Homo-oligomer: A and B are copies of this chain.
Amino acid sequence: MKVGGLSSASGVSVATLKYYLREGLLHAGVATAVNQADYDDSHVRRVRLIRALLDLANLSLADIGRVLAAVDDEAVSVHDAFGIAQDAMVPARDRSSPAYAQAIADVAVFVRRHRLRVRPDAGVRWMLADALVALREANWDLDLTVFDERMPDALARAAVELSLVPPVDRVEQMEASVIGTIGLEVAVSALRRMALEHASWQRFGGARGRRPSAGRGTA
């Protein structure tokens, strides 16, 4: 397909596609004439992945570039590429405070307690520590033991989720892993927020000050 067809198939404007091409986020099509190239399904998939990382994960173009480099680098194993892509999904930030050092130590204890195969320098450790620091500064003195009972379920679900990744070629497998990680994360977060809105209605009452009867809606 021409660039116009890629635009229709992906829902992204031609100008934006040309920008992705210039920035190296999107691989070039097969040149068919001066200033004309043919694009295929691999381009459609890649544009959708870029949009998901931009819109759902709020990543910068630089971070997206790192995720895509991991997806495309055939020299590293799928497992290592998955780790690199996960790390790129955790934004850089100043993490030098003493409160942060305490949080990262607490995360290490949690990882050991659950015997998680999470790399010592995995970005996801920082992500959990970021949340701990923010909550503690706001006087939610969160202890990670509150999550202990959830982890067996979370591990079982993660194994099922990865088993759903189609056993196609390496790039498609990586693309599906990344988009599944982000997409399901946003879905799960949305479900949690819906539950919070429902609980707020139960606790604080509806818009007109009506108080719900006890327990209604949770049966």
Q: Which residue of B lies closest to A135 (CB)?
A: B183
A66 within 8 A of B: no
Contacting pair A127 B218 (CB below 8 A): no
Q: Which residue of B lies closest to A124 (CB)?
A: B193
The CA of A123 and the CA of B16, in the complex, are separated in Å by: 26
B residues less than 8 Å from A124 (CB atoms): 190, 193-194, 197
Which residues of A in the span 76-131 have a Cβ within 8 Å of any Cβ on B?
A: 77-80, 82-83, 86, 89, 91, 93, 97, 111, 115-119, 122, 124, 127-128, 130-131
Which of the residues B130, B140, B179, B191 comes within 8 Å of A55, measured between beta carbons?
B130
Q: Tell me how many residues of A have a C-beta within 8 Å of chain B.
A: 91
Which of the residues B48, B91, B97, B184 comes within 8 Å of A137, measured between beta carbons?
B48
Greatest chain B CB density within 10 A among A127, A130, A131, A166 is at A131
Main secondary structure of the interface of A (DSSP, over half): helix
A171 within 8 A of B: no
Known contacts A56-B131, A128-B194, A204-B77, A156 near B187 by CB under 8 Å:
no
Which of the residues B49, B127, B135, B196 comes within 8 Å of A158, measured between beta carbons?
B196
Q: Which residue of B lies closest to A53 (CB)?
A: B134
Which of the residues B91, B119, B200 comes within 8 Å of A83, measured between beta carbons?
B200
Q: Which residue of B lies closest to A180 (CB)?
A: B140
Q: Which residue of B lies closest to A193 (CB)?
A: B124
Q: Which residues of A contact B (CB under 8 A)?
A: 11, 45, 48-49, 51-52, 55-56, 58, 77-80, 82-83, 86, 89, 91, 93, 97, 111, 115-119, 122, 124, 127-128, 130-132, 134-135, 137-140, 142, 147, 150-152, 154-159, 161-164, 166, 175-177, 179-207, 209, 212, 217-218
Other contacts beyond A77-B209, A117-B197, A151-B191: 11, CB < 8 A: A11-B97, A49-B138, A77-B205, A117-B201, A131-B183, A134-B182, A135-B183, A157-B195, A161-B196, A185-B189, A189-B189
